[in-house]
Amino acid sequence: MPLPARRRRGTVASYRLFAAPALLFAAAMIVFPFGYAVWLSLSEVALGAAPRFVGVANFTRLFGDEEFWNGFTLTLELYLVALVLQLVIGTWLGLLLARSRRARGLVRTVMVSPFMLPPVVVGMMAIVILDPSFGVANWLLAEAGLPPRLWLADTETVILTIAALDTWQWTPFVALIVMGGYLSLPRDVFEAAEIDGAGGWWRFRHVTLPLLGPTLVTAAVLRSVDLLRFFDIIYLTTQGGPGRASTTLNILAYRRGFEFFELGYASAIMVTLSAMVLGSVLAFARLRRAVAW
């Protein structure tokens, strides 16, 4: 029996217990509720009665529900449009900041401000600025001789308007990540390309962009997680409307759960959405290995 006759203090000391309160908290507030939500998603819940286990019935109903597919399509549309816009504009802006070496002082203050604003404030600004009758956006369009738009009240384009709002708020964040990634790259690669006489676009396409791969994947992961769960600005400005033109899965789940009290069905939507978020994160983890250098 190994018996440490005299414990050498210092090497044996364990601080594992220091993590215990956080783990207990996580067990009570995250793990247990998650398990409970999964169980709810497999149950039929009527108000006032105990939940009844129904297996995958909620999911079967879900995949046959046209409302679900409407939400699914809108979620993906918002996700893809906003992600592509933010990565493309963010890369351009990040390289611009790195070139001008001016992301300090006032410029940095302006760059970090949008994404530190509460999304609710962005929504309030949108309500006032994009109001079809009294908003300053349509007034500017009129001054420029362009036809007015309905913005958040337009069934066709409401989801694009919302994607634009998130792009306004989060592109500076992507740009700052790109700038940081670019400035930490080895200089000699660029000098070699310059000596070889490589042109600007060729250099960007074949040197800068591949080297920025891991940085862009990091930015994409962070934005994906937020975009798939996007809630605040939609709920504040349109509550899923007009009609159901901006009822993404998260909005649909919220309304089913807290306005119609269909707890089982709402949980099934949210479990599906969680799986989508997890799927995108795992996909990007694979992509990160592919673009590593």
Using CB under 8 A as the binding rule, the residues of this chain from 193 to 212 that contact other proteins are: none
Binding part of the chain for other proteins, among 55-63, 66-74, 106-114, 147-155 by CB under 8 A, reads 106-114
Instruction: Determine if 273 is a binding residue for other proteins (CB under 8 A).
Output: yes
Closest by CA position to 88, among listed 290, 223, 194: 223
Contact 95, 178 (CB under 8 A): yes
Instruction: Determine if 218 is a binding residue for other proteins (CB under 8 A).
Output: yes
Instruction: Determine if 184 is a binding residue for other proteins (CB under 8 A).
Output: no
Instruction: Determine if 281 is a binding residue for other proteins (CB under 8 A).
Output: yes
Instruction: Determine if 107 is a binding residue for other proteins (CB under 8 A).
Output: yes
Using CB under 8 A as the binding rule, the residues of this chain from 54 to 93 that contact other proteins are: 93
Member of 236, 242, 244, 287 binding other proteins (CB under 8 A):
236
Q: Which x/- pattern over 137-156 shows residues binding other proteins (rule: CB under 8 A)?
A: --x-----------------
**What sign has the CA pseudo-torsion 119, 125, 128, 132?**
negative
Residue 118 region, left (φ>0) first, then alpha (ψ -120 to 50), else beta? beta
Using CB under 8 A as the binding rule, the residues of this chain from 237 to 256 that contact other proteins are: 250, 253-254
Give the HSE-up count for residue 87: Cα atoms under 13 Å, Cβ half-sphere. 20
Which residues in 84-96 are b (16+ Cβ under 10 Å) and which e?
ebbbeebbebbbe
Q: What values do phi and psi take at 52, rounded to 5? A: -115, 130
Member of 74, 83, 176, 245 binding other proteins (CB under 8 A):
176
Instruction: Determine if 114 is a binding residue for other proteins (CB under 8 A).
Output: yes
